[in-house]
Amino acid sequence: MKLKWGIPIALSACVLAALFIGALLVKEVMGDSTSYIPRKIDATSEQIARGAYLAQIGNCSGCHTMPGGEPYAGGKGVSTPFGTIYAGNLTPDPATGIGSWGANDFYRALHEGRSRDGRLLYPAFPYPNISLTTREDSDAIYAFLMNRVAPVKRESTAHTLRFPFNNQLALAAWRLLYFTPTAYQPDATQSVSWNRGAYLVQGLAHCGACHSTRNALGAPIAGHAYDGAMMPLNDWYAPSLTARNEASVADWEIAQISAWLKHGISERGTALGPMAEVVYQSTQHLRDDDAQAMATYLKALAPSATPLTTNAAASRKADAQSEKLYVDHCSKCHGDKGEGKPGAFPALAGNRAVTMANTTNLIRVVLAGGFAPATTGNPQPHGMPPYYHLLSDAEIAKLLTFVRSSWGNNAAAVTDLDMVKYRNALRTP
């Protein structure tokens, strides 16, 4: 009997499982709009101002405004390993923007990652994080966009994604595996400030969208929030916010973290690259209480057990040519012993950005240069000039090996192969 009926029963079970999964995918694609009847908001000036502030915390314009383009009119491309996704038009134009959207439509986009027409949105729009946004905050942002942003008629640019990533069914499958709309649940064991910081960091500020380790399908790996990750296409490395040898702030003072968030510079570090853009466009606008709340939460993140990365064999003392390269090109700003100049040029001795195992950011800054953001606390930032056209790969490798193995630094050498790899990946001019 087992031999006679086993195979048909197994096949039937597979068919039923396939039908069930197919039904789930169809339901995910189609959605459920019954609870999203359009609702008009009679916005107050206070609500609009709050929405403008929250939109800055979320850095909405960072993706939804093209360089030199109209605010929030969309069109900016976000490069991913799966293709390029273009931000939509958030202006209140009724034909091409969100002018015909209701407040419920907007909340559904933030909370569920679904457009007004039911279409699933790609998680390059970080709705897995922004899903935590409260209805009150969503309504405030909506009120700001509808009442303070000028309408711009601009059709959305079509995404250029490879198959099967350009398919709504594939996206539905991804969401079934990795996304559930979630509301922020306060932790009763923590302070009001910690909970406010957690709500902002986890949600609207979406820090984990860059700093969390992801799998091959671009989904955060459970248990590895804030553990660090390469940015799309290997342009930059978003360092771990939990590892003491990377970007953990567990041993910083709250005031130092707040200053870094608001000004992009403190005695403990300087923001460069994508983080400088985040500070400039977003966190410099934080109210003092919100900056302190985010600092409280970030400081409280449990440090990972990742040990300091050292490699005595590779951390050899660089030769005389390496030291001369440093003296000729770096010492005037960063000091003869890597001590830096407070408020101007960061110290290189003991600098985690210098000694991290992942050298992407270090090599990129030397090749392409970089600036801290211009903020009220740092209105005239000093910059790092690019050296891609002045020094060869071999010379930069020698120079960085010297910096990573001097003044108490003990990190692995930078090799010529590292330079070839990163110079190509970083797409320098």
Q: What is the CATH number of the domain that holds 379?
A: 1.10.760.10
Final residue in a domain of this structure, among 128, 154, 178: 178
252 and 139, same domain (yes or no): no
Indicate the pairing of strand 265-266 with strand 269-270: antiparallel
Tell me whether residue 11 is in a domain: no
115 and 204, same domain (yes or no): no
Indicate the pairing of strand 77-80 with strand 83-86: antiparallel
53 and 172, same domain (yes or no): yes
Tell me whether residue 34 is in a domain: no
Final residue in a domain of this structure, among 178, 212, 243: 178
Assess whether pLDDT exceeds 80 at residue 277: yes
18-29: average pLDDT: 42
Is residue 272 classed as helix, strand or coil in its secondary structure? coil
52 and 172, same domain (yes or no): yes
How far is the C-alpha of 121 from the C-alpha of 139, rounded, in Å?
19
Model pLDDT, residue 318: 60
How far is the C-alpha of 292 from the C-alpha of 194, rounded, in Å?
9
Q: Tell me the pLDDT tens digit for each residue of 286-317.
A: 999 999 999 999 999 988 855 444 444 444 55
Tell me whether residue 106 is in a domain: yes
How far is the C-alpha of 165 from the C-alpha of 386, rounded, in Å?
36
285 and 343, same domain (yes or no): no
Assess whether pLDDT exceeds 70 at residue 179: yes
Q: How many domains does the chain have?
A: 3
136 and 49, same domain (yes or no): yes
Q: Are the C-beta atoms of 281 and 56 separated by less than 8 Å?
A: yes
Instruction: Tell me the CA distances in angstroms from 274 to 21, 232, 349, one per residue in order.
Output: 39, 12, 23
First to last CA, the chain: 72
Model pLDDT, residue 234: 62
Tell me whether residue 148 is in a domain: yes
157 and 207, same domain (yes or no): no
Q: Tell me the pLDDT tens digit for each residue of 135-148.
A: 999 999 999 999 99
pLDDT band at 427 (very low <50, low <70, confident <90, very high): low
Lowest-confidence pick of 200-204, 252-256, 265-269, 310-314: 310-314
Burial 357-389 (b: 16+ CB within 10 A, else e): ebbbbbbbbbbbebbbbebeebeebeebebbbe
Radius of gyration of the chain (CA): 24
How far is the C-alpha of 389 from the C-alpha of 329, rounded, in Å?
13
Assess whether pLDDT exceeds 90 at residue 26: no
Instruction: Give the residue numbers spanning the domain of 150.
Output: 45-178
How far is the C-alpha of 78 from the C-alpha of 203, rounded, in Å?
20
157 and 55, same domain (yes or no): yes
Tell me whether residue 328 is in a domain: yes
276 and 203, same domain (yes or no): yes
Model pLDDT, residue 124: 92
Tell me whether residue 357 is in a domain: yes
Q: Tell me the pLDDT tens digit for each residue of 35-85.
A: 444 445 578 999 999 999 999 999 999 999 999 999 999 999 988 889 999
How far is the C-alpha of 171 from the C-alpha of 291, rounded, in Å?
35
249-266: average pLDDT: 94
Is residue 176 classed as helix, strand or coil in its secondary structure? helix
Tell me whether residue 237 is in a domain: yes
205 and 330, same domain (yes or no): no
209 and 289, same domain (yes or no): yes
166 and 94, same domain (yes or no): yes
More confident residue, 151 or 268: 151
Q: Which of 252, 240, 246, 245 is nearest to 296 (CA)?
A: 252
Final residue in a domain of this structure, among 139, 155, 178: 178
